[in-house]
Amino acid sequence: MRTLTLNRLLWICGALLAVLFAVVVLALKVGAVPISMTDLAWNLVRVIVGRDTQLSSEYGLIIFGLRLPRIVLGIFVGAALSVSGAGFQALLRNPLADPYVLGVSSGGSFGAILALIFLPYMPLVTPLAAFVAATATVAMVFFLGRRQGQLDNTTLLLAGVITNSFFSAVIIFLMTTLKGGEDRGMLYWLMGDLSTPLAASVRWMFAVGLIVGIGAIYTTAADLNLITMGEREAMHLGVDVTRVKLVVYVSASLLTGLAVSVSGAIGFVGLLVPHAMRLLFGSDYRVLIPTSAIGGAIAVVVADTLARKVVAPTELPVGAVLAIFGAPFFLYLLRRRLA
Amino acid sequence: MSGTENYVSIEVARGTEKQSAATVRLSVEQASYAYHSRGNTAPVFTLAATTFSARQREIVTILGPNASGKSTLLKLIAGALEPLSGRVELEGFETSRLDARTRAQRIAMVHQESQLLFPARAWEYVLQGRHPYGRMLRFETEEDVNIAENAMAQVGAKHLRDRWMHEISGGEKQRVILARALAQQPLLLLLDEPTLHLDIGAQVDLLERLRQLAAENRYTVVVVTHELSLAAEFADQVVLMHKGKCLRVGTPAEVYRRDLLEQVFEAPLDVDMGPEGRPRVHIRGAKPPG
């Protein structure tokens, strides 16, 4: 018996944070302007602890004015999407659940585009609309995914896939007919892309939303462990199943909505990362939530760096890179479950 | 039949320590329930007022065929449903009014196992029984671990500790599930058709263990089953259910009457008295050849 202790949890998270730091330094280095790794690491630490960088101003501008904001956006989006995926997996009792596969991401994108077209001068409305649309999409997929009053794993996934293609079609329709204040392009919304930096006005809201969303799901971590072993049993072990599911439902939708409003529908992070973390550290949600958050950040930053590097000087949408790894992994999990 | 509905069992004192078992622990008083499919339509199933009581160390069997109201009665006892009328009390507290955590500290329910979403080891599973005693993210204490270890030892599942739940046999799984219920340290242990997927050896093993646990840990045990012979062999008290009504409450010897059982189970049966006053039930089948 190796039970979870606070010490063990902190060690695991610390190790992952060190990996994240190394990945960030590497990502800062990749690009047209060469600069040494040690300089980068040293200056990054100075920026993190709140001091000025010692790099000359033009380097500093490229590294910390252009590359770092994109990396920070990747960290936020990765953390949000993979915690959201881990949450949906427990909520819908389906190990293949992921905001993108379930169609929640494209539903959220649809909400964000509507807000951008009809209320283009109110930047806070976009993430809010994405959140509301994501929440509605989860409810829709949930009801479509039931058979004879029971949530059916295969039907749920099919409902998600169809919802996804429906909203993708609507997005293409909207983008070609009514452009309005939206100029980010179709690929951005359908595949996900980190090339648009976070507007200063929504930065705080995004950070607060992320912390609240992940924090709320984390308070239910011990309950989620029981719910994944059976809802009826969880109830008899003192879990308020309805409350826990409501918290996870709203928080996971919030996280997905926030992420898609600033990066479009990036797929498979919520599937790849929680499963990788389960393989490494076990299925205990008290470990899974924080490790998924950090692991998601690592995955998206790595994928985005590849997206920038592989076909330089042009770049791929980060969602394409993740889908290349994510889709086969989804199939692997599906086949293993059917076996 | 009307005279038997409210029949209250006389005290069944089979145990040796009669004095400590003197007070009633579980009391079900005229408890009834009705399921409605929706709104104001007529109920699709009703459970007529049922009355019985049980002491500590006592094993009560709720016996009846499918759709006789056994599971509804068990849910009322567990506090998962609130009775339409009447009361279900555990040591003076109404079970449906207890908050979920307190209820889980006093009542443990053993279901047929559910599908696990992610693989878990037996010890992780048993440790979940400590959940009602923890707060939010609380990490398991050494005490929790000891209690879980003891629970596994008590059901003879110590050797299964590090095995995966999906790799052990049905009988072994049932023991681990029982160990989780013991880890809750309840007053009342409820089991819903615990022998359903077990072979006869595992069935007898489980029920003997229950008898031992009831004696050692002073549990009150309530078992829902349709297994006539097992109930006769292991129950102190039988609550006989038929079509949403409680027909009779009493010792197996009192309840196992041929006409009554034939009516309830709709099968030709023979009942004869075995040693120790335990009735035996046989199917009155086709005549032997020749």
Task: Find, in chain B, the residue whose alpha carbon is nearest to that of A4.
Answer: B139
A13 close to B150: Cβ distance less than 8 angstroms: no
Task: Find, in chain B, the residue whose alpha carbon is nearest to that of A278.
Answer: B118
Phi, psi of B153 (to 5 degrees): -65, -40
Q: Distances from the Cα of B11 to the Cαs of A272, B5, B219, B276, in angstroms?
A: 61, 18, 17, 17
Label residue A65 by pLDDT band (50, 70, 90). Answer: confident
Instruction: Check CB contact under 8 Å for A284 and B132.
Output: no
CA distance A194 to A198: 9
Report for A14-23, A138-147, A175-184, B168-177: range of highest mean pLDDT: A14-23
Q: Is the dihedral of CA A138, A139, A144, A150 positive or negative?
A: positive
Label residue A153 by pLDDT band (50, 70, 90). Answer: confident
Predicted pLDDT of residue A179:
62
Predicted pLDDT of residue B136:
67
CA distance A255 to A77: 9
Mean of pLDDT over chain A: 87
pLDDT at A148 over 80: no
Q: Is the dihedral of CA B249, B250, B254, B258 positive or negative?
A: positive
A56 against A48, higher pLDDT:
A48
B14 against A23, higher pLDDT:
A23
Instruction: Check CB contact under 8 Å for B134 and A222.
Output: yes
How many interchain CB pairs under 8 A, A with B? 86
Measure A145 CA to nearest chain B CA, in Å.
18
Predicted pLDDT of residue B20:
46
Q: Contacts for A306-313 with beta carbons within 8 Å, 24 or more apart?
A: A308/A30, A308/A31, A309/A30, A312/A32, A313/A32
Residue carrying structure tokens 């919304």: A189
Phi, psi of B137 (to 5 degrees): -95, 5
Predicted pLDDT of residue A108:
93
Residue in A107, A74, A75, A73 with CA at minimum distance from that of residue A253:
A107
CA distance B137 to A2: 17
B281 close to B231: Cβ distance less than 8 angstroms: no
Measure A48 CA to nearest chain B CA, in Å.
29
List residues of chain A with CB under 8 Å from any CB of chain B.
1, 3-6, 89-90, 93, 95, 218-219, 221-222, 225-226, 228-233, 235-240, 278, 283-284, 286
Residues 6-65 of B with CB under 8 A from A: none
Instruction: Check CB contact under 8 Å for B117 and A5.
Output: no
Least confident of A36-40, A77-81, A153-157: A36-40
Q: Is some CB atom of chain A closer than 8 A to the CB atom of B71?
A: no
In percent, how much of chain A has pLDDT > 70? 94
Bridge partners of residue B279, in order along the sequence: B273
pLDDT at B281 over 90: no
pLDDT mean over A130-146: 91
Angle between helices A6-29 and A68-91 (to 10 degrees): 140
Task: Find, in chain B, the residue whose alpha carbon is nearest to that of A5.
Answer: B139
Write the residue in B104, B129, B131 that is nearest to A222 by C-beta. Answer: B131
- State how beta strands B107-110 and B188-192 pair: parallel
pLDDT mean over B58-73: 92
B287 against A81, higher pLDDT:
A81
Predicted pLDDT of residue A337:
66
Predicted pLDDT of residue A104:
93
CA distance B74 to A243: 24
Predicted pLDDT of residue B53:
92
Least confident of A299-303, B7-11, B88-92, B256-260: B7-11
Token readout for A204 is 């705080």
Bridge partners of residue B272, in order along the sequence: B280
CB atoms within 10 A of CB B205: 17
Instruction: Check CB contact under 8 Å for B131 and A284.
Output: no
Predicted pLDDT of residue B229:
86
Q: Which amino acid is at B134?
A: G
Residue in A217, A286, A284, A282 with CA at minimum distance from that of residue A256:
A217
pLDDT at B37 over 80: no
ipTM score assigned to the predicted complex = 0.81
Predicted pLDDT of residue B12:
36
Write the residue in B120, B132, B161 that is nearest to A1 by C-beta. Answer: B161
Measure B285 CA to nearest chain A CA, in Å.
39
Q: Is some CB atom of chain A closer than 8 A to the CB atom of B134?
A: yes
A117 against B102, higher pLDDT:
B102
Instruction: Check CB contact under 8 Å for A226 and B131.
Output: yes
Tell me: the pLDDT tens digits for A185-231? 777 788 888 888 887 777 888 899 999 999 999 999 999 999 998 88
pLDDT mean over A89-115: 91
Chain A residues with CB inside 8 Å of B150's CB? none
Instruction: Check CB contact under 8 Å for B131 and A237.
Output: yes
CB atoms within 10 A of CB A151: 15
A183 against B283, higher pLDDT:
B283
Chain A residues with CB inside 8 Å of B161's CB? 1
Residue in A335, A274, A332 with CA at minimum distance from that of residue A91:
A274
Predicted pLDDT of residue A180:
56
B107-133 burial string, b = 16+ CB within 10 Å, else e?
bbbbbebeeebbebbbbbbbbbbbbbb
Residue B191 Cα to chain centre, angstroms: 4
Label residue B19 by pLDDT band (50, 70, 90). Answer: very low
Instruction: Check CB contact under 8 Å for B120 and A1.
Output: no
Task: Find, in chain B, the residue whose alpha carbon is nearest to that of A89.
Answer: B117
Instruction: Check CB contact under 8 Å for B128 and A90.
Output: no
pLDDT mean over B59-68: 91
Instruction: Check CB contact under 8 Å for A95 and B118.
Output: yes
Helices (H), chain B: 70-78, 100-106, 122-127, 142-154, 170-183, 200-217, 228-234, 252-255, 258-265
CA distance A334 to B228: 43
Q: Is B285 helix (H, G, I), strand (E, B) or coil?
A: coil
Token readout for A270 is 């919520």
Predicted pLDDT of residue B138:
73
Helices (H), A220-317: 221-227, 231-236, 241-263, 269-281, 285-309
Task: Find, in chain A, the residue whose alpha carbon is nearest to that of B146.
Answer: A1
Token readout for B172 is 């072994």
Q: Which amino acid is at B144?
A: D
Q: Which amino acid is at A89?
A: Q
- State how beta strands B93-94 and B85-90 pair: antiparallel
Q: Which amino acid is at B233?
A: E
Tell me: the pLDDT tens digits for B123-178? 999 999 999 998 767 788 889 999 999 999 998 889 999 999 988 988 888 889 99
pLDDT mean over B68-90: 92
Least confident of A52-66, A114-128, A294-308: A52-66
pLDDT at B15 over 50: no
Measure A221 CA to nearest chain B CA, in Å.
7
Predicted pLDDT of residue B22:
57
CA angle at residue A83 from A82 to A87, to 5 degrees?
115
Cα diameter, chain B: 71
Check whether the bond before A313 is cis (ω within 30° of 0).
Answer: yes
CA angle at residue A165 from A114 to A195, to 5 degrees?
60
Q: Distances from the Cα of A95 to the Cαs of A337, B163, B222, B239, in angstroms?
A: 9, 22, 35, 42
Length of chain A: 339
Q: Which of A9, A229, A284, A337 to mutate to test the interface with B (most CBs of B within 10 A)?
A: A229
Q: Which of A12, A233, A285, A333 to mutate to test the interface with B (most CBs of B within 10 A)?
A: A233
